[in-house]
Structure 1
Amino acid sequence: MSKLVNKSMSTKRFLIINGEKVETPKYASLYSPYSGEEIAQIAMADKDLTIQAITAAYNARELMAKMPAYQRANILEKVVALLKEKADEAAEIISRESAKPIMFAKAEVERTIETYKFSAEEAKRIHGETIPFDAAVGGVGRIGYTLREPIGVVGAITPFNFPMNLVAHKVGPAIAAGNTIVLKPASQTPLSALFIAEIFEEAGLPAGVLNVVTGPGGIVGDAIVEDDRVSMVTFTGSPSVGIGIRNKAGLKKTTLELGSNSALIIDKDIDIDQMIDRCIMGAFSNQGQVCISLQRVYAHEDVYEQFVAKFTEAAKKLKIGDPLDPDTYISSLISRGEAERVLGWIEETKYSEATIVTGGKLQDGILEPTIITDADHSLKVSCQEAFAPVVIVNKVSSVEEAIGQVNDSRFGLQAGIYTNNVKNALYASRELHVGGVMINDVPTYRVDQMPYGGVKESGTGREGIKYALEEMTEMKLVVWNQS
């Protein structure tokens, strides 16, 4: 049996299984990516405890499946109300554990509230359709319709970069659909997930519906993916891990959101001044640790020099420092190892024809916003996912050339184009091989109800509450023979 918690151990954070806080034999220190100070001691689950969490979710699935839609919606509405009350606390948790600047952490909490609000609304809109059976000769005398039923236990594996809202994108629709969840948050950002689980408990979610299991991905994640009682796995993270999940999942449903090296095309005759702020946000918000972060810019030769100059000037003005300072725009990457990886990629460009226009160095341990021009596609900063405040800007002679460059990628999540030419906009929307095309905006645009996902190595399936909910339900057909 699991060992329940001695409440006096305040720095420790525990598993949440079947509504109880559960101790583990091992704990790991959680350190601030910015200051290096210890934030908490995090429970490290083993396979047996993960299986225990899956059992709790499996045993609660019938209760959840039979819960009326209005009750599911009410619980989600209570979560919305509680999170509004605790918004400042939530933002500080995000900022401390991930080094996300507080301005962006607060924005994430606002989006999380909206995501749960959409989930509450969608809980009331789960419906099937009637089928015109008499359209077939053999269908005369029959009527039929489809139902949407909960899929069962959903295994959710979430990343560090949006530790509260990307949890919401999995937990919200799962509960709206009447499912139960085993959640494995990213090792660096478990506090956000544990905080939300406590809010759900306060909102009246029954025990066993939401279980949070912290620990190593190779142990906890594998146990979730391989257990036959888990009906679906929803994962946001790296392509290599996502492909591994797909290979192990068997016939389970999988939704995989696997990142990108998102690109923006800038056509001629564009007012550069009107788009610089959007490009700064797209490239450098959350230190570039965004799946749809602006990483590649292909600017028409008529506006290229002007764009590079103004983009560079704006990037140099961004404040670097403590994530809890309200004026900070750029803070630490999620780990020292990530900073060293990106510095290695930047170093590689020095042996090519590329030019580092600004940045490329650490400032008090923080990677400066970095802009690189004339980067060959074979360089890692171009063809791989940087997940850092690094953007390349290359010159093109036409929109057609730019689209060819954008599509020359193993990724395809979202892309953007700024243009005043309707034909070019339509051409780009048709020819860009991505999951979403943003016209007159950066590829980093997302609101939480829109369908979100990619092609190629950017993953499978779609998030966005209505679309995730469809993935998290099974369609059942009912046919009545009236003769």
Structure 2
Amino acid sequence: MWLDGAWRGSEQVREILSPYTGKRAALADEASPEQTGRAVAAAAEAFPKTRALSRHARSRLLSAMAGGIESRRKEFVELMVREAGKPATLADAEVSRAVTTFTGAAEEAKRFGGEVVPVDTDPAGRAFEPALSFWVPRGPVLAITPFNFPLNLVAHKVAPALAVGAPVLVKPAPQAPGPAALLAAVFAEAAAATADSREAVPLAALQVVSCPNGAAGAAVADRRLATLSFTGSAAVGWMLQGRAVGKKVCLELGGNAAVVVHSDADLARAAARCAAGAFAYAGQICISVQRIFVQRSVAAKFRKLLLAETAKLGVGDPGDPKTVVGPLIDAAAADRVLSWIAEARGHGAKVLCGGTRRGNVIAPTVLAGARPDARVTCEEVFGPVAALYEYRDFEEAVSRVNASRYGLQAGVFTDSHRLVQRAAAGLEVGAVLVNEVPSYRADPMPYGGVKDSGLGREGVRYAMEEYCERRTVLTWRG
């Protein structure tokens, strides 16, 4: 683990198993409670130094980290395939996204400033100069990240924190801590390469400490860490919010993303995108397509197209460049997904394809007729399962999409500008994607949800704002 500016071992070493082969993929040091406490203290002690760094120094560091990630592309891909079971082509795309994330943060670090606020709009304000309102970092960030994007979701917390001058303590997912540790190596090299006689980035600006999920409670409650940024399940996220007293809390939680396919849509494109959006990486993405609502007049045609596109997807070994649908993260996850499919079938759902298992790999599964209260439709399945439904008119589709406790993203396929506007106004989600599936995320955009899908927004600039607070300076003219 990368702790207080150096690599440290631990008395507790944990074996990480490949989700695909079940064999040992890696060994990971697990931090003791004392080491976790030391990481918190080191982050707090680094804060006066990181917030004093010039924007130039922060930008140089982040640019160097982008280059370092690119130079270690192959290593990152191999780690994600081995530890997370991520198909190699998707892992390679994740590396590209992480490079983009750090490059964007390097650019934002230069221009992230503030604004001039006229105060003479109030008669009493005529005695004052225009106010200056600008961003200052709250303090160290605790970043708790999931297994499914073990590099880029770490990047989406680390890069904005470093851009604003906030130290960051990363607790990566125990299933796949390797990419975060390799990112720490990239950070150490970049910090050394960008140091000059005037200023240097403190090596304690980043800590990467792996520990069991339940062992992070002390850090969550420690007020020396000013912000908690968590990506994971809704149940865990809201529980952590209750423990994070006195902190700014950013939660990117679950979803059961829906797509609406209207009769005027390009059905072939919609089917191809829905198949990829539902089943890539075995559906282990919080914005994977889980519910598909198709207007009744084109439902039969769309169903045929969707099943044909699903059949084209490569399934199996994540190391095979043709694979799109790899294994679930572990046997327990595969057991749960199959039990939810069986539950839906027991209540009348029809399996149009899939529903079978080999090891931790579940074949892409399309259901028809699943009840709205089936867990495969009303909860986050986090597996390769999509449920098809028909609707009469657009208002019904919007209402059924909204009949969920989640609200992360939704997709709408239509050529009608009028319907797009109605979707944008009526869908209770953080983002509406038009003629695209909700599984797509552009890294610079504001990203986050409503309802049980979380609080706050990611996306480099928006996360920078979450990690800061406004400070205003008002000067009397005299």
Common fold: TM-score over 0.5:
yes
Task: Answer whether contact 2:26 2:83 (CA < 8 A) is retained.
Answer: no
2-side partners of 1:188 and 1:271: how far apart? 39
Residue 208 of structure 2 is matched in structure 1 by 212
2-side partners of 1:20 and 1:130: how far apart? 42
Q: Give 1:179 shift.
A: 0.4
Q: Give 1:206 shift.
A: 2.4
Q: Equivalent residue of 1:297, what SS? A: strand
2-side partners of 1:44 and 1:153: how far apart? 22
Out of 74, 84, 92, the residue aligned to residue 98 of structure 1 is 84
Q: Give 1:353 shift.
A: 2.3
Residue 31 of structure 2 is matched in structure 1 by 45
Q: Give 1:275 shift.
A: 2.2
Code of the aligned partner of 1:294: V
Code of the aligned partner of 1:48: E
Task: Please give the TM-score of this superposition, normalised by the length of structure 2.
Answer: 0.96
Residue 199 of structure 1 is matched in structure 2 by 186
Q: Give 1:277 shift.
A: 2.0
2-side partners of 1:368 and 1:421: how far apart? 35
Q: After the TM superposition, which of the residue ranges 452-461 and 266-275 deviates more from structure 2?
A: 266-275
Q: Give 1:28 shift.
A: 1.0
Alignment of 1:236 with 2:222, yes or no, is: no
Q: Give 1:274 shift.
A: 2.2
Q: Give 1:217 shift.
A: 1.4
The 5-angstrom pairing of residues 133-282 of structure 1 reads 133-143=119-129, 144-204=131-191, 205-219=201-215, 221-282=216-277
The percent identity for this pair of structures is 39
Deviations 1:341-365, CA, capped at 9 Å, x for gaps = 0000000012122110000110344
Residue 419 of structure 2 is matched in structure 1 by 424
The 5-angstrom pairing of residues 9-48 of structure 1 reads 15-48=1-34
Deviations 1:123-146, CA, capped at 9 Å, x for gaps = 011111111111112211212211
Deviations 1:136-193, CA, capped at 9 Å, x for gaps = 1221121221121111110000000000000000000000000001110000010000
Q: Give 1:333 shift.
A: 0.4
2-side partners of 1:28 and 1:365: how far apart? 21
Out of 131, 137, 150, the residue aligned to residue 117 of structure 2 is 131
Q: Give 1:255 shift.
A: 0.4
Q: Equivalent residue of 1:350, what SS? A: helix
Task: Answer whether contact 1:374 1:395 (CA < 8 A) is retained.
Answer: no
Q: Equivalent residue of 2:315, what SS? A: coil
Q: After the TM superposition, which of the residue ranges 272-281 and 221-230 deviates more from structure 2?
A: 272-281
Code of the aligned partner of 1:175: L
Code of the aligned partner of 2:423: A
Alignment of 1:415 with 2:402, yes or no, is: no
2-side partners of 1:167 and 1:51: how far apart? 21
Task: Answer whether contact 1:158 1:185 (CA < 8 A) is retained.
Answer: yes
Code of the aligned partner of 2:73: A
Gapped regions of structure 2 (runs ≥ 5): 192-200
Residue 82 of structure 1 is matched in structure 2 by 68
The 5-angstrom pairing of residues 441-460 of structure 1 reads 441-460=436-455
Q: Equivalent residue of 2:475, what SS? A: strand
Aligned residue pair count: 468
Q: Give 1:299 shift.
A: 0.2
2-side partners of 1:74 and 1:442: how far apart? 35
Q: Equivalent residue of 1:72, what SS? A: helix
Q: After the TM superposition, which of the residue ranges 346-355 and 99-108 deviates more from structure 2?
A: 346-355
Task: Please give the TM-score of this superposition, normalised by the length of structure 1.
Answer: 0.95
Code of the aligned partner of 2:136: E
Q: Give 1:271 shift.
A: 2.5
Out of 10, 31, 44, the residue aligned to residue 58 of structure 1 is 44
Q: Equivalent residue of 1:377, what SS? A: coil
1-side partners of 2:242 and 2:323: how far apart? 41
Q: Equivalent residue of 1:275, what SS? A: helix
Q: Equivalent residue of 1:481, what SS? A: coil
Alignment of 1:307 with 2:290, yes or no, is: no
Task: Answer whether contact 1:161 1:290 (CA < 8 A) is retained.
Answer: yes
Code of the aligned partner of 2:148: N
Task: Answer whether contact 2:284 2:384 (CA < 8 A) is retained.
Answer: yes
Residue 389 of structure 2 is matched in structure 1 by 394
Code of the aligned partner of 1:327: K
RMSD: 1.0
Q: Equivalent residue of 1:88, what SS? A: helix
Alignment of 1:289 with 2:276, yes or no, is: no
1-side partners of 2:86 and 2:256: how far apart? 20
Residue 9 of structure 1 is matched in structure 2 by none
Q: Give 1:276 shift.
A: 2.2
1-side partners of 2:156 and 2:47: how far apart? 20
2-side partners of 1:249 and 1:280: how far apart? 39
Q: Give 1:322 shift.
A: 1.2
Q: Equivalent residue of 2:203, what SS? A: coil
Q: Give 1:248 shift.
A: 0.7
Deviations 1:288-329, CA, capped at 9 Å, x for gaps = 111110000000001111111111122122222211111111
Task: Answer whether contact 2:296 2:390 (CA < 8 A) is retained.
Answer: yes
Q: After the TM superposition, which of the residue ranges 137-146 and 166-175 deviates more from structure 2?
A: 137-146
